[in-house]
Amino acid sequence: MSYSFHIQEKREGWPAAISNTEGDEIHTDVAAQYANHFTNSGETYSQRDERRLRWKIDLRLVPLLWFNVTLGSMDKVTTSTAALYNFRQDTGLDGDKYSWVGSAFYFGYLIWCLPSGSLLQKLPLAKVLCMVQLLWGCILISTGFANSFAGLIALRVLLGALEAPIVPGNFLILGRWAIGFLHDDHQWRAMFWITGAMTIAWAVVIGIFLPDNPVQAKFVQPREKAVAIERLRADQTGIENKTFNKKQMMETFADPKTWLMFLFHLTISIPNGGLTNFAALVIKGLGYTSQRSTLLMMPTGVVQTVASYLCNGGVFLCLKYLPNYHTRAAWVLLGILVGLVSTVFLHTLAVDDYSGRLAALYMAYFYFGPYVVSLGINTANTAGHTKKVTTNALVFVSYCVSNIMAPQFFLSSQAPVYPLGIAVILGSYVLSAAFIILYAAYCVYENRRRDRVGDVTAGERVHRNTDFKDLTDKENLHFRYVW
């Protein structure tokens, strides 16, 4: 489809309205006001300017976004650690009620996925994250006062709804910027109070220091904003547009990539749902005390961190030294393979092989590396702001469904080995590998099709007729998928 664009209006800080040859009104990206700075002014910028700006942005954003995710991950597993300290007994979680407390979180997440995506599009992003973190902290503190199954279910549903905007919000931000107190068996309440207070404090930091987008970042000078936007031009994904586009939403539902990524996340998140809620109980079932089990849970976070850095670091190095090769799916498959082999050992090792089972349990957490890389692939392969928001929402719907189902396979009657739950994790690794291979194959097919039918150069950096016009990846023939 060819486009002839006509600027109708331009206001500082807002996208201009444009129309294509078919008469449909399209709203340009918020970055459009800086997109032609260097063309119009005749200025240039050097690699030194880029490096200086990159460090300036990274030093501000990376710590904020890193702690955003860290707090969310920490807060979610408080029930797992609390289960070691009479949490279930004190709140009447007999039978499989504990499994439902684990699932309840993701019912809230599922319900609020799509509405939160709309909020992230319409409202200032950083401010939404700030308010969500404040409420999140209050809910956590309230959980420390809970005494019943019904109360816990309600609080966990609310907590899940509040997490729904956090990870998608972090990725939208990125896309815009390219044990000591646990000595008493009844001290589980303190974990919720402390983590909740930390989250509230962090929300204040987010509200003050995290910018909504490059255009509104006060710590970046106007010329630096133009440099930042120029560096993002080749991605063809845009930065931000507040206008909801129904056609983009419908395109999302018709895109095969959407559903392949949906199925991938439905399967790769099964280990998260199971291990997050039951790993501590599996470790305690090996014969360790509650305090010792809590300490032995610490390496699970280390493994997740290593998996994330290994897979993402591998992608980064390949992009730097092998820029002409697509390697993202390969790193996803490597991470899946590590988790798959580990789960095989966890499923087959003798019950009394404590050291072997513990090591296998740790390495089963390697799912986190492929999960994070896949989120990056999804972001890089989706253009058009409404399409981005809708795609993110669907991906996290699958994440919720997966995490709702996973705890139900860990039957209390099978404690502490949980053979059914471990077998399901094993199967999920196999399926997720198949789905990411199909996703990569579709990207290869689509790129080759565009090379055949298009009259554009795939490696060309500047496309004035489509850059920052809020076109989707389907509408823009200049767009090439990564895999």
DSSP letter at 239? S
Q: Integer distance in angstroms from the first to the last C-alpha of the chain? A: 25
Q: What is the dihedral of CA 22, 23, 27, 33, to 10 degrees?
A: 90
User: What are the tens digits of pLDDT across the range 40-55?
Assistant: 777 777 888 878 887 8
**Considering the chain, what is the average pLDDT of its residues?**
80
pLDDT at 443 over 90: yes
Residue 133 C-beta-side C-alpha neighbours within 13 Å: 33
Of the candidates 270, 299, 272, which has an alpha carbon nearest to the alpha carbon of residue 283?
Answer: 299
Average pLDDT over residues 408-415: 87
Identity of the residue numbered 293: S
Range with the poorest average pLDDT among 165-169, 216-220, 356-360: 216-220
CB 474 within 8 A of CB 251: yes
Cα gap 296→291, rounded to integer Å? 9
User: What are the tens digits of pLDDT across the range 151-175?
Assistant: 999 999 998 888 888 878 877 777 6
Of the candidates 367, 306, 303, which has an alpha carbon nearest to the alpha carbon of residue 334?
Answer: 367
- What strand order describes the sheet that includes 25-27? 6-7, 17-19, 25-27
Cα gap 381→341, rounded to integer Å? 30
The C-alpha angle with vertex 178 and arms to 38 and 6, in degrees rounded to 5, equals 50
Residue 162 C-beta-side C-alpha neighbours within 13 Å: 26
How far, in Å, are 52, 258, 304, 374, 379 from residue 393 at the CA level?
Answer: 34, 11, 24, 15, 12
Cα gap 391→397, rounded to integer Å? 10
CATH tag for 6-453 (out of 3.20.20.70, 3.30.420.40, 3.30.300.20, 1.20.1250.20): 1.20.1250.20
pLDDT for 440 equals: 97
- This prediction's pTM: 0.65
Q: Please, what's the largest Cα pairwise distance for the chain?
A: 73
pLDDT for 48 equals: 83
Of the candidates 6, 154, 81, which has an alpha carbon nearest to the alpha carbon of residue 300?
Answer: 81
Q: Is the dihedral of CA 91, 96, 100, 103 positive or negative?
A: positive
